[in-house]
Structures are given as structure tokens and as C-alpha cells.
């Protein structure tokens, strides 16, 4: 049975909530909209509330009504929303909204605010209330408040949930199974965070989760809300952060979803050229519409607050910044510019609202253009993110490493150019899923030469990323040198670890990650020019790059020597800042990692000779195709700081 008319108190309360929703200021709108457990006139049931401003009528239909004609919903004044209380609805039942559009067409639509959906190919929303979890991760959340993420190690392991590992019958791991295996693996390997590709409801695997239908639901193909909450809690108890990719720019255009929800442009732009995203076959959100802002900003906060996520990596930011970003026909602004002004304002508002509540959250932009001040605060004219993927560094670096080593000296600027802009933004250096799919080859397969030289190059590549200014991200499979590129319908090639070279590379990555966490110089002042001192960036002939990475304390520094060609350099002199003794803490060519060196060099004693503008010099052998990292063992004349 449904109550078709509200009492005045219920109506007034809803109208207050919906006023905020309609002004773009309701950032907990999921507590009002959608399906919510409620009591009304002494009866227990669920209240259903939906935004459909231009519908002629809206009905509720589902298992509780045997999918017969829709239970009539009441229009709530001039709010554009409709509501009904149903005492027959129980948790776990399926439902949809029956929308009579302005032209009389009737369509069954999902609930945009649903917390759960049927397992595909079925697509109905499911009656579900927010779980009331008692969280046990207080120490983790407290530690985030005490220590700034900018001055902490950040080394992210990017994961696609259903293709990380498969069972023998080719079924993927459930969230509880991942909790038992993925978290210990990430901890053992020395990563600081897991980043999931989108886990929200989406109908097509080929979209990798980036074409969403249910923004408030964990995809039913992956598991339940409770299971994902438990996963995040378990990760935090293991001192592992959890991030997730989030897609506020565009949404899936399947007819049962949000597309032309009430028969008119509702969630999407009114202008068809702006609304239709031809690149991805999706619909672009009208980011200037107040109700859309309430929907999306509430959604970001929902994942942060209800799941204790440590941050969101915001997908395709460029598509929200530009009017002409892959849409075909477009109209410039009155001043002739191509900036999407409402998109810019939405992004700024999103970041301001998130950081107002959660200043220790990571808001990471995947932004592929030269837009300035992406990671500067809004009050400084920035977009307000605190991190940005460094796509320029990634493209130049991979282009350089894919070359025949003999050609690299002619293109040395591909490696050195990034130091010109490394501190313009707070950067994350990404080797993500996008670089190992669609015929691009795996990281290991990109490397030239025979198998030995491929692994030597891969170790050099990974070590170079670790010593370069900026936080780190690596996609699953990179860490043991998977040869085949990523395939979404299959698990990773874990069987490759039976091969000695793959097993040694995994050991190398574990050692490298642990070294990164140990050496303050590699992350403590990552985003300040004082964090690096270039020694020699002009040695294109030998194709060697050298620099010093520094921490806050003068004694916290490491010397880095990168040799990008398979030629050993004997008697190589490197300048160091202080007299004393230095030792190797990494040689990527060690036998235990797959190289040919059986023992480390050193310790090295300085000689009083000026090299690389430094007062002291040490002499050593630089192995072929390698990265060496040296640290002070006992040094003199260090000023106190």
C-alpha cells in the first residue's frame, strides 16, 4: 500500500531539503533522494523520491506491486521532484520509476540515487538502506590529519578489480577474496595506496567502468556496499590507503538510465552538441545546472564519507574544461575562447566543498593538457585539486625508453625536459592502465632488445620514476614485467612468476618500493625546487643523467646516476656535497634483480676535487643500463638545520 498524499510536516521537511537540492547546495542529497527507510503514520516502509521536473506523471513499480501499473507519486510543489511512501517495499526487492514524459511516452527508468542494482543483464534498482557500519579505522584517519600527504610517501598500485586475479574456472575474485589476497600483496610489495578503476554500477565491461549508470552503487558484478566498506577498513588496518576513479564528466546513455530522464535534457546539456560525447558514446553532464551539482558533489562526498575512501582520481578533467574537447561541432564563448566556464566553476566548487569537510583527502586530476594551476587553490585562481597526473612526463619517458638505446643520445631532451616544469603542479607520475592496452604493449614489451635487455631497461625505467620528483603510480602487472598487455576479461599472468626473470623483477620492485619509503629524500619535499639539485643533465653523449634528491634535513639526501644505454662506464666521477664516505643503496643491475652484478660497490671515499659544481668527488663504475642510488654513510662538515 502507498500513501499518495503527504501530511504538511512531511511536505515541509522535504521542500526544505529540495530547496537546497535545487540551488546546488545539497551535498548530502543521497540522504533525501532515492529510496530511504522511513516510518509514516505509524507504518514502516520506504520513501521513494526522484527528480523529474518535466514529467507529466511519475509512478513507482516493482516487485512489491508485481510490476503492475505504477504506484502514483506525488509532485512536491514546484521542486521538480516526486515522492511516495510504500509500506510493502522491503529490502532486496527490485523497482523502477515509471516516467510519463511530456509527449506522453512512458519509460521505465532506474533510480539515479539507488544504492544497489540487479546483476546484469537485468538492470532494475534494488530497495536498500544505507548500512550502519561501526568503523574501526580511527588510527588511520587520525594519522592522515597529523601528517600532510605532500610530505609523505605516496606510491599507488592501480587495480582493475575483476581482472587482477581469476580462479581456475576463470571467475574473478570477489571483494572478500580480494581483501584476503590483494591487501597482503600490496603491503608486502611496499605500496602505500590501492587505486581502483571505477567500482560503480556500469553495464559494459569494455568501458572499464568509466561509463556509469549507478553513481551511488557498488557494481553488483563486484559485490555489495558492506563488502567494499569492509575492504577499505581492512586496508586501513594494514596501513594501506584506498582511492577510486570517479567520472563526473559524462554518463552512460543506455535508455533505462539517466539519459533524457524525464523526456527532456535533464542531467545533460540542452545543447545537443554539448550533451553528446562522441568520443566515448556517452552523455555529458550539464555541469552548470544546480541539481546536477548537488547530485555529483554529494556523490563525491558519499564515497569519501560512507566508504572512508582516501581520495578520488577524477577522470577526464580535460573534457570538462574545454568546449571543443572531442565533441565535433561546438560553439565558442562570446570572447572566442574554448573554455567551458560552467565546467571550470563546477570543478572549483567540487574541490572546495570536498576540502571544507575533508582537508586530508586526495583529489587527483587526470588532466592531459597544459591547463595552468590545476593543483593550486581556488582562491589563487586554480582548479583546487591537490594532485595531477603528469601525462607529459609519462609520454616523453615512454617515448624515450621505446627507442633503440643507440638513438637516445639524440633525444636526451625527452628525459631532461620534465625538470623544467616538475614543480609547476603537484604531480603524480603514472604508468597506468591506459599505457598497456589497445595495442600499446605492456611496459616490459615496450622495451627494446632481447629479454635480458628488456628487463634491464624496465628496471631502469621503474627506478627512474622512483627517483624523479613527484608521487608514483603503477598499474597491476607492471610490477613483475607481464609480457602481454592488459586484457580486461582475463586475470593477470601470475603464472609468469614461475619464470626466473619475472620473479626477480617482482623482487626488484618490492626492494625499490621499500627503498622509496625508507629514504625521506625521495618524497619529503617532493613538490619544492629544494628537493632536487641537478648535477649533470647535459651528458647526452654518454646518455647519463645525475642529480641529488634532498629531504628536509641536510643529511637526508641521495645521489642518483641514471645510465640509459647498455654501455658500462668505468672510472666515472660524480660530484658530492660533503667530505666522507658514501655507499650504494641501489644498483638495478644486481644479480638478485636479474642483472649481472653479484656485489655492491663501495664504500666510496671522497677526494677533494670539484666535479659537477660540488667540492668533493667519488669515482665508481656505472653499470650498463642502470640506475645507481648512493647515500652518505659517514660525512663531515654538515651544517645543522
- Please list the active-site residues: 315, 366
CB 48 within 8 A of CB 14: no
Q: At what angle do helices 500-518 and 175-189 cross, to 10 degrees?
A: 70
Residue 584's region, left for phi above 0, alpha for psi from -120 to 50, else beta, is beta
Residue 400's contacts (CB-CB under 8 Å, 6 or more residues apart) are 408, 411, 414, 415, 564
Strand ranges, E, within 153-213: 155-159, 193-196, 200-201
Task: Express the helix, strand and coil content of the chain in percent, nearest 5 each.
Answer: 30, 25, 45
Whole-number Å distance between alpha carbons of 57 and 59? 7
CB 601 within 8 A of CB 620: yes
Residue 242's contacts (CB-CB under 8 Å, 6 or more residues apart) are 193, 194, 195, 196, 231, 232, 235, 236, 308, 309, 310
CB 162 within 8 A of CB 133: no
Going by C-alpha positions, the residue among 306, 307, 287, 282 that lies closest to residue 297 is 287
Whole-number Å distance between alpha carbons of 520 and 348? 32
The strand pairing partners of 511, in sequence order, are none
| Residue 86: all three cell numbers together | 510504500
CB 258 within 8 A of CB 112: yes
Give the helix/strand (H/E) hosting 345: helix 341-357
Tell me 318's DSSP state.
Answer: H
- Distances in whole angstroms, Cα of residue 295 to Cα of each of 28, 404, 546: 9, 50, 49
Rounded to 5°, angle at Cα 33 from 28 and 39: 105
Length of the chain: 641
Tell me 245's DSSP state.
Answer: E
Reduced to 3 states (helix: H, G, I; strand: E, B; else coil), residue 326 is: coil
Q: Residue 451: exposed, middle, or buried by beta-carbon count in 10 A (0-12, 13-18, 19+)?
A: middle
In the block, residue with C-alpha cell 580511527: 138
Whole-number Å distance between alpha carbons of 303 and 292? 17
Rounded to 5°, angle at Cα 275 from 270 and 278: 155
Whole-number Å distance between alpha carbons of 231 and 529? 38
- Distances in whole angstroms, Cα of residue 310 to Cα of each of 51, 138, 248, 425: 30, 13, 18, 20
Reduced to 3 states (helix: H, G, I; strand: E, B; else coil), residue 18 is: helix
Give the helix/strand (H/E) hosting 45: strand 43-51
Whole-number Å distance between alpha carbons of 434 and 478? 12
Whole-number Å distance between alpha carbons of 167 and 149? 36
Amino acid at each position: 500500500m502507498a500513501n499518495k498524499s503527504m501530511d504538511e510536516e512531511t511536505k515541509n521537511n522535504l521542500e526544505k531539503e529540495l530547496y537546497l537540492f535545487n540551488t546546488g547546495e545539497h551535498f548530502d542529497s543521497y540522504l533525501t533522494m532515492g529510496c530511504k527507510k522511513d516510518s509514516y503514520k505509524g507504518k514502516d516502509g520506504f520513501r521513494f523520491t526522484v527528480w523529474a521536473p518535466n514529467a507529466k506523471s511519475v509512478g513507482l513499480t516493482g516487485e512489491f506491486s508485481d510490476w503492475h501499473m505504477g504506484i502514483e507519486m506525488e509532485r512536491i510543489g514546484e521542486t521538480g521532484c516526486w515522492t511516495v511512501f510504500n509500506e510493502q517495499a522491503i529490502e532486496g526487492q527490485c523497482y523502477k520509476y515509471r516516467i510519463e514524459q511530456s509527449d506522453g511516452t512512458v519509460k521505465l527508468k532506474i533510480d539515479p540515487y539507488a544504492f544497489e542494482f540487479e546483476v546484469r543483464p537485468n538492470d532494475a534498482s534494488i530497495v536498500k538502506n544505507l548500512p550502519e557500519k561501526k568503523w574501526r579505522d580511527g588510527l588511520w584517519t587520525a594519522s592522515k590529519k597529523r601528517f600532510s600527504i605532500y610530505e609523505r610517501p605516496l606510491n599507488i598500485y592501480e587495480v582493475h578489480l575483476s581482472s587482477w586475479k581469476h580462479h581456475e574456472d576463470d571467475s574473478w575474485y570477489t571483494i572478500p577474496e580480494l581483501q584476503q589476497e590483494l591487501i597482503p600483496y600490496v603491503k608486502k610489495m611496499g605500496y602505500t595506496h590501492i587505486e581502483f578503476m571505477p567500482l560503480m554500477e556500469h553495464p559494459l565491461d569494455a568501458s572499464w567502468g568509466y561509463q556509469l549508470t549507478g553513481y551511488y552503487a557498488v557494481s553488483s558484478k563486484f559485490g555489495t556496499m558492506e563488502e567494499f566498506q569492509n575492504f577499505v577498513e581492512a586496508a586501513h588496518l594494514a596501513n594501506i590507503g584506498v582511492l577510486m576513479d570517479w567520472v563526473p564528466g559524462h554518463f552512460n546513455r543506455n535508455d533505462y538510465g539517466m539519459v533524457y530522464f524525464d523526456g527532456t535534457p535533464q542531467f545533460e546539456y540542452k545543447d545537443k552538441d554539448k550533451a553528446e560525447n562522441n568520443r566515448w558514446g556517452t552523455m555529458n553532464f550539464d555541469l552548470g545546472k544546480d541539481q546536477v551539482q548537488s547530485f555529483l558533489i554529494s556523490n563525491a562526498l558519499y564515497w569519501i564519507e560512507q566508504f572512508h575512501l582516501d581520495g578520488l582520481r577524477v577522470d577526464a578533467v580535460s573534457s570538462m574544461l574545454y568546449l571543443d574537447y572531442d565533441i565535433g561541432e561546438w560553439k565558442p564563448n562570446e570572447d572566442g575562447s574554448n573554455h567551458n566556464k560552467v565546467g571550470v566553476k563546477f570543478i572549483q566548487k567540487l574541490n572546495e566543498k570536498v576540502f571544507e569537510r575533508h582537508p586530508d583527502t586526495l583529489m587527483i586530476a587526470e588532466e592531459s593538457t597544459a591547463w595552468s594551476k590545476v593543483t593550486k587553490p581556488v582562491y589563487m585562481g586554480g582548479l583546487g585539486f591537490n594532485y595531477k597526473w603528469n601525462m607529459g612526463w609519462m609520454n616523453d619517458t615512454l617515448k624515450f625508453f621505446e627507442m633503440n638505446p643507440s638513438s637516445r643520445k639524440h633525444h636526451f631532451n625527452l628525459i631532461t625536459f620534465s625538470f623544467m616544469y616538475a614543480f609547476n603542479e603537484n604531480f603524480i607520475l603514472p604508468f597506468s592502465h591506459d599505457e598497456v592496452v589497445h595495442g600499446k604493449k605492456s611496459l616490459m614489451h615496450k622495451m627494446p632488445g632481447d629479454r635480458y635487455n628488456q628487463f634491464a631497461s624496465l628496471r631502469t625505467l621503474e627506478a627512474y620514476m622512483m627517483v624523479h620528483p613527484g608521487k608514483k603510480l603503477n598499474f597491476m602487472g607492471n610490477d613483475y614485467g607481464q609480457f602481454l598487455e592488459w586484457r580486461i576479461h582475463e586475470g593477470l599472468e601470475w603464472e609468469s612468476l614461475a619464470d626466473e626473470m619475472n620473479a626477480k623483477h617482482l623482487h626488484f620492485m618490492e626492494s625499490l618500493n621499500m627503498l622509496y619509503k625508507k629514504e625521506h629524500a625521495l618524497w619529503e619535499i617532493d613538490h619544492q625546487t629544494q628537493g632536487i639539485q641537478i648535477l649533470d643533465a647535459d651528458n647526452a653523449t654518454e646518455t647519463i643523467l645525475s642529480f641529488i634528491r634532498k629531504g628536509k634535513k641536510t643529511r637526508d639526501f641521495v645521489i642518483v646516476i641514471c645510465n640509459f644505454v647498455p654501455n658500462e662506464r668505468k672510472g666515472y666521477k660524480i660530484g658530492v656535497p660533503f667530505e666522507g664516505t658514501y655507499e650504494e643503496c641501489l644498483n638495478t643491475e644486481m644479480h638478485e634483480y636479474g642483472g649481472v652484478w653479484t656485489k655492491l660497490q663501495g664504500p666510496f671515499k671522497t677526494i677533494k676535487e670539484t666535479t659537477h659544481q660540488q667540492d668533493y668527488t667519488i669515482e665508481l663504475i656505472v653499470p650498463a643500463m642502470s640506475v645507481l642510488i648512493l647515500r652518505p654513510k659517514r660525512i663531515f662538515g654538515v651544517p645543522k638545520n
